[in-house]
Structure 1
Amino acid sequence: MPSSDPNALNASGLTPAQSKALPTRQPTGEESKILEHIKELYRCAPTNDSFSIYSQTAIFHDPIGYADGLGPVRAQFEGLPKLFKGGATIDKFEVLESGNGGNLRTILINQDVTYYLKERPSDPTKTVNSLLTLERDGSGLITKHSEEWDHKRETTSEDGFFGTLNEWRKKATAAATGVFVGKEEKDHSK
């Protein structure tokens, strides 16, 4: 559950109002490959190469799940096309200035993604605005991928008892997705 506190700092280290007000910028050449793979993931069209941008110990955290390690991160994005059979469109994709002093290894993205449950119905299922915060290691691989809907900070165990419960629920959801994706892969191999 996103925090209801409008002054809670999101993964970028800014409030939602501040991160939404950041100016856009052009990606660097090094960032361009990463961003193309991120777009593949959010379009519900991952390829094997899409996951080459993550470290083996990468963490993915969004309002629904928490995946720790490349395998579970992969399962989260491989599960999307199974849920959203009509795929997704990226309606807005802006690389933001890092703000707040910024870290050269962090990429901030403001995006709008429209998801379709069925094969291209006339009406989308849901459009989501989110802030992506991609933290990278010295070799340029993503070590942490945070997605915060409407730029709002996600609750964690640092938020007390209910934050801890929410984090456990996210880990259980991510584990269930991993089992579902694994089962689908085994079923297709028969």
Structure 2
Amino acid sequence: MSSAPSYRLALPLRASLNYNSIRIMSTNAAGLRSEESRALKERSMQSHEEPVITALKEMYSCSPKASTFNIYASDAVFHDPVGIAKGPKSIRAQFVGVSQIFPRAEIPKLRILESPPNVMSNTILIDQDVSYYRNPKSSPTKTLNSLLTITLDSDNQIKSHTEEWNHQKTISKDDGFLGMINEERKKLTANLTEVFVGKN
């Protein structure tokens, strides 16, 4: 097994750590508090959203295909609590890295949520649970709940993909000095992942 660094390789393990020291308790990417986004009702998938949902399921079940990341626009940005990746190639590296460490992942819950009035019409909100397995025959190593905020462009490709664990915002460069430092760290780890994993 490669020892290449990857910010997403250990995310189910790192998620159990206390991130309160780097979390700003405010609104998430949907512009809501965590309890508000959790309370949103489920809605049916629209036809133009089907390729997006299919790709997300492939990525989060650790079974991405060569065509999976075609759903991203060339300037797409992926942002989660421990990394920022820009462009389909870099985003692909993050998710391929996970599949190299966790041979099995399941999505026991995936709800497409009704968007509140403050959310743009080209945005998809998803509440999901993902269970990651280091040993595919054992119990899950970690199950993560997260809010996915997906913004589409005019071609219905993903332009922005934000993952927030437990629907809670994590800091960015807009949150002062600590946020700036944390965002630069996340960019660095994502770039390292692309170097070591993205070429495979």
Partner of 2:6: none
What is the CA-CA distance between 1:4 and the residue it aligns to?
4.7
Matching residue of 1:114: 131
Match of 2:14 in 1: none
Q: Could you tell me which residue of structure 2 aligns to residue 188 of structure 1?
A: none
Per the normalisation by structure 2, the TM-score is 0.86
Q: What is the CA–CA distance in structure 1 between the aligned matches of 2:101 and 2:166, rounded to whole Å?
A: 22
Gapped regions of structure 2 (runs ≥ 5): 1-18
Runs of 4+ in 1 over 6 A off after TM superposition: none
What residue number does 1:100 align with?
117
TM-score, scaled to structure 1 = 0.90
SS of the counterpart of 2:67? helix
Corresponding position of 2:23: 3
- In structure 2, the CA distance between the partners of 1:150 and 1:110, relative to structure 1 (3 Å rule), is same
Distance 1:4 1:123 in 2: 32
Equivalent residue for 2:63, pick from 29, 45, 49: 45
Deviation at 1:165, TM superposition (A): 1.3
Maintained 8 Å contact 1:155/1:166: yes
Preserved CA contact (<8 Å) 1:14 1:100: no
Higher relative contact order (CA 8 A, sep 6+): 2
Post-superposition offset of 1:107: 0.3
- Aligned equivalents of 1:73 and 1:4: distance in 2? 25
Deviation per CA, 1:126-159: give whole Å up to 9, x if none.
0000000000111111100000000001200111
Which residue of structure 1 aligns with residue 54 of structure 2? 36
- 131, 152, 175: which is aligned to 2:147? 131
User: 1:140-151, aligned counterparts within 5 Å?
Assistant: 140-151=156-167
Q: Structure 1 stretches of 5 or more lacking a match?
A: 186-190
The answer to whether the 8 Å contact 1:129/1:150 transfers is yes
CA distance in 2: counterparts of 1:113 and 1:147, whole angstroms: 12
Within the alignment, does 1:19 sit opposite 2:15 as a pair?
Answer: no
Q: Secondary structure at the match of 1:10?
A: coil
Q: Amino acid of the residue matched to residue 148 of structure 1?
A: E
How many aligned residue pairs are there? 180
1:53-72 aligned at under 5 Å gives the runs 53-72=71-90
Mapped to 1, the partners of 2:117 and 2:52 lie a distance apart of: 23
- 1:103 and 1:182 map into 2 onto residues whose CA distance is 32
